[in-house]
Amino acid sequence: MVKVYAIALALGVVALILWLFSATLAENTGRVSWDPATRLGVGGKSAVGAMIGFGMGGLSAEFAPIDLAWPAALGIAGVAALLSAYWVRYALRQSEVR
């Protein structure tokens, strides 16, 4: 299962880097169609956050000092993914308020 968490974390980080790169490129060239926030919206941001949260939560649970069985680590990874997606949505609401 460690490989699954590592792949999810790597894909999430690569997606985040690509998101930032394409958003910067869209902003600097004036092409709104390239902006991932316009194309993918809140759901896309939440998916990237969930992938990163799933990978980080799973790896943290697998390498915890207490010996957890793989179903417990998978559950922790799932909770981390849900919390990460929620945090992204919460942060977006807070940034719109200001």
- Mean pLDDT over 20-28 rounds to 92
Nearest to 5 by CA among 85, 47, 63, 65: 63
> pLDDT tens-digit profile of 29-75?
988 888 888 889 899 999 999 999 999 999 999 999 998 999 999 99
Predicted local distance difference test score (pLDDT) of residue 33: 84
| Percent of the chain residues topping a pLDDT of 70 | 99
Domain with 64, as residue range(s), is 2-97
Q: Helical H runs in the chain?
A: 2-29, 36-39, 41-62, 70-97
Q: How far is CA 46 from CA 30, 36, 73, in A?
A: 25, 12, 21
CA–CA separation, 17 vs 61, rounded Å? 25
pLDDT of residue 37: 85
- Count: domains in the chain: 1
